[in-house]
Chain A
């Protein structure tokens, strides 16, 4: 029988297909791991309800755990408690920045229009003078920004709370 601790370690080797520097643990989407005999049950929560990567992540988890041993693996998707970007680990945020994606910043209440602009430092030159190009970026979880200093366009992993 495999220890739950080992399963958590194996999950360190499962990466997000969209942001391949992050593991599923960095993302904070693994809710629970349960081992009974030779069967492993993993519970994950989606980042966004329509995130097309979820099915792939499920399959990757099953594939990775099957590589590690002769297990019966099942993966369940639960919506509650709802995922928030606060669950991305510090390590995950560091990796995001290194990869060129600005990690989520504390954001003010979304009800304030225009007035509120979150300061998102440029992941390339750390300059705080950046502008939002679009709320919606290359995937559901990202917004599109540009640095006014180095002019580099970049993705911002939006704050979700």
Chain B
């Protein structure tokens, strides 16, 4: 197995799947500004996925393009976090998912900009700037909704309770990471987890939300073992390429 290719799929699939979920909000946002915001975020993520897949295709060296990797793989070949494929739910659920992920992406990219792999460093530097805006946006919503009305607080607390079980996977590491860490390509998850925990704790505290007691940690996405939701996403995402193979705009 090519560890660098595998790592790039994990990174790229995270961007693609959350980008796709955000795109589902197009035309359904609670207010016009948020409709625009979520589609803007979606665009950033799909843009990141494009850069990452393009590089992954070069690393794999089997002639696969960014589009091939996005549209022509089966569910078990996707390596995104299970958290990201969860349904959007209400706006609070979407923002909670976004907040938990953005809080992880920022410290991750802050470290990947020092990667010994120049291309990863370049993608991280570019993406970090966007991620800071994303995190600010989702953090502010979590505070506003949590420390808002009884209704909004209950809803985001429910969202937190539902999604928390998927957060341990953010820091998943296996032989892929070990190999890349030894050559300075990727950072250790220890520091990222520390940063994530302290930031998430601080914001949830300001939002008057309670971190649930975790008695089940659901992982598997990094190994291609997904929840039932990914299949539905891919059905929609891949429809055009499956129905009309090789189709171009």
Using CB atoms and an 8 Å cutoff, list the residues of chain A in contact with chain B.
Answer: 46, 48-52, 78-84, 110-111, 113-114, 133-140, 144, 158, 160-161
Contacts and interface: CB of A to CB of B under 8 A. Distances in A.
A140 B123 CA distance: 17
B233 interface: no
Nearest to B34: A134
Interface string B54-81: 0000000000000000000000000000
A114 B207 CA distance: 13
15 contacts: A48-B130, A49-B123, A50-B43, A50-B44, A50-B45, A79-B123, A82-B122, A113-B139, A136-B33, A136-B37, A136-B41, A137-B36, A139-B40, A140-B43, A158-B133
Interface of B: 33-34, 36-37, 40-41, 43-48, 50-51, 118-119, 121-123, 125-127, 129-130, 132-133, 135-137, 139-140, 143, 203
Given A50-B50, A51-B43, A133-B33, 8 more contacts: A51-B47, A80-B118, A80-B121, A84-B129, A134-B36, A135-B37, A136-B41, A140-B44
A140 B122 contact: no
Given A80-B125, A135-B37, A114 B140 contact: yes
A108 B10 CA distance: 32
B136 A110 contact: yes
**Max chain B CB contacts within 10 Å: which of A46, A48, A83?**
A48
A79 B113 CA distance: 12
Contact of A49 (B37, B48, B143): B48
Pick from B40, B123, B125, B137 the residue with the most CB of A within 10 Å. B40
Contact of B133 (A49, A78, A83, A110): A110
B140 A82 contact: no
A82 B129 CA distance: 9
Nearest to A51: B47
Nearest to B139: A113
A48 B44 contact: yes
B126 A79 contact: yes
Contacts of B135: 110
A139 B34 CA distance: 13
Given A49-B126, A133-B33, A110 B132 contact: yes
A28 to B, nearest CB: 15
Nearest to B46: A50
A48 B139 CA distance: 21
A135 B137 contact: yes
A48 B132 CA distance: 13
A112 to B, nearest CB: 9
A158 B143 CA distance: 23
Nearest to B32: A134
A161 B37 CA distance: 20
A137 B121 CA distance: 28
A50 B132 CA distance: 16
A46 to B, nearest CB: 8
B144 to A, nearest CB: 9
Contacts of B137: 135-136
A48 B51 CA distance: 11
Contacts of B203: 113
B162 to A, nearest CB: 24
A78 B125 CA distance: 12
A60 to B, nearest CB: 17
A18 to B, nearest CB: 13
Given A50-B44, A136-B36, A82 B133 contact: no
B122 A79 contact: yes
A134 B33 contact: yes
